[in-house]
Amino acid sequence: MEKLTHINEQGRAKMVDVSGKPVTRRVAVARARVCMKPETLSRIRQGNMEKGDVLAVAQVAGIMAAKKTSELIPMCHPIPLRGVDLRFSEEGDSTLVIEAEVKTDSVTGVEMEALTAVSVAALTVYDMCKAIDKEITVEQTCLIRKTGGKSGDFIRKGE
């Protein structure tokens, strides 16, 4: 039977040994949806067009969080990120979509970095809007695709 990785012979968690694995270029894209009241999204959009820009703060927060991934996720390997970008779009009148793309040349993938970036960007939107909308919910935080590495490419079903 397939085994969970990250478990040592004492049945405890470990940071898996990836020494000697080849360095390859790797890319991962993750996404989260931030669902809110239409008025809240409208306010973010306005700020966007002026200077008071919730999304500019979320953008910086997501990028800085990607760099902190291995500090946050206990069994995650520290790797040298080569590029991080976040993009925002809207779905309907009440959903903000956040996508993060992370790149590296390393021995492990950057799925966790992309997921961390969108999660923290989404929480930053929550933080800056919670005075006017406490019901904001983050939905469907997931990996969209990844390329590079031995296990092959992955594209989420339906993407």
- Which residues are annotated as catalytic? 127
Q: Tally Cβ neighbours within 10 Å of residue 126.
A: 17
Find, among 146, 138, 123, 154, the residue nearest to 29 by Cα.
Answer: 146
Q: Residue from 37, 42, 45, 74 that binds a second copy (CB under 8 A)?
A: 74
Instruction: Report the chain's C-alpha Rg in angstroms.
Output: 17
The continuous run of DSSP H or E covering 52 comes out as none
Of 41, 43, 98, 149, the one binding a second copy (CB under 8 A) is 43
Chain positions 19 to 38 lying near a second copy, rule: CB under 8 A, are 19-21, 25, 32
Q: Which is nearer to a second copy, 15 or 93 (CB)?
A: 15
Q: Tell me the binding residues.
A: 75-77, 112-113
- Using CB under 8 A, which residues numbered 117 to 136 contact a second copy? 119-120, 122-124, 126-132, 134-136
Binding site members for substrate? 75-77, 112-113
50 binds a second copy per the rule CB under 8 A? yes
Counting contacts by CB under 8 A, is residue 153 touching a second copy?
A: no
Question: Taking a C-beta distance cutoff of 8 angstroms, is the pair 12, 4 a contact?
Answer: no
Tell me if 92 contacts a second copy by CB under 8 A. no
Nearer to a second copy, 49 or 92 (CB): 49
**Chain-centre distance for alpha carbon 66:** 7
Closest to 44 (Cα-Cα) out of 135, 115, 127: 127
